[in-house]
Amino acid sequence: MAVINLDYLKTFFQTYDKPTEEEFADLIDTLSTVIDIVTYHVPGNGNIWEDVNSSLQIDHQQKQLGVVYHAGVTYLFDAPLGTYGLGGIPTASNNYVKLVESQFTATQVEQLLALIVDDISVNTSLSVSQFEKGVVTSVVYTAIIDHEDVTVTQISVNSNTYPIGAIQTNIIIEDKLEETKSYVLTVNYIYNGVSKVYSETLTVYGYAPQFSGQSAITNYDLAPVNSILLSKYIGEGNNLVAKTVYNDMYLWFILSNNADIVDQNQNLFTVGEWTSNEFIIMKTGFVKLQNGQNEPVAFYRSLKTLNSKGITFKFESK
């Protein structure tokens, strides 16, 4: 299988053609080849140049040539004084190569390189997306950065830098959180000769608990979380449900934000102040989190106790 000229590659797939297994393999190899790009400046005689790794021979009088080296093959392109494009021959043990002609233009070479050189691939994850605020919760942040085709210069998470692997960098951070925290991944790298920056933010959210249900208690001011005799919910928003048979109990919602209260038929209740005579009364206050912090909430309670006489009623906060 081989990496070959794209224009020639296209001839395998013209109308009514039946590409062979080998031709499909050539297509895959050409479009998935990993290459390194180096620019050499040829001395005035145009024949020989040297670097720290090798001494190579060019049989052409050009003063500057772009060089792509991959898997024992050296590709020469974009000769500034000629019509040369991508091409090459396998290097011998002495690393001597010859320039070969091609129909690629400089623009086409850039397009080809964009096809066969992959940008970095980043996969990040959090072991949990949310947790109860004030409760110590274990969280694992993981980042996997594949950078086989590019030169990565720095990788950091929340401004802390990490060692860069040869072709892949794996980062695992284990935390114990009580509050919302964001992990900001930043990757600085060079892609096709251009400096680029990749950035991604993952956030694990700590939510104060919210509550709904029925209770005989008339006032939950500063109630500790563990002593509230209602159903507890952890998450964003106020879409809570209290669905049960009421036996001379108060309807209760304790929410992080103000909300509308509706019945099972989506009829909206008018909410009044705590001292008013509306069906639902409301006031602001606090619940005490498990770590002792006070969290501001809105208390909603039916003005009177409810008795559904054996029938299940549903109320929702929205």
The confidence score (pLDDT) of residue 125 equals 97
Would you state the pLDDT for residue 22? 83
Domain boundaries, position 101: 33-116
- Whether 145 is covered by a domain: the verdict is yes
| Domain's final residue, options 163, 191, 207 | 207
- Tell me the DSSP string of 111-180: HHHHHHS---EEEEEES-SEEETTS-EEEEEEEEEE-TTSEEEEEEETTEE-PPPSSEEEEEEEEEESS-
Q: Specify if 186 maps to a domain.
A: yes
Examine the pLDDT at 28 and tell me if it is beyond 70: yes
Q: Could you report the per-residue pLDDT of 127-166, keeping only the tens digit for each?
A: 999 999 999 999 999 999 998 778 899 999 999 999 999 8
65 lies in some domain: yes
Q: At a CB cut-off of 8 Å and minimum separation 6, what does 263 contact? A: 269, 313, 314, 315, 316
Task: Encode pLDDT of 213-232 as tens digits.
Answer: 999 999 998 889 988 999 99
Which of 178, 207, 236 is the last residue before a domain boundary?
207
CA–CA separation, 84 vs 103, rounded Å?
7
pLDDT of residue 171 exceeding 80:
yes
Identify whether 198 is part of a domain. Answer: yes
pTM of the entire structure?
Answer: 0.62
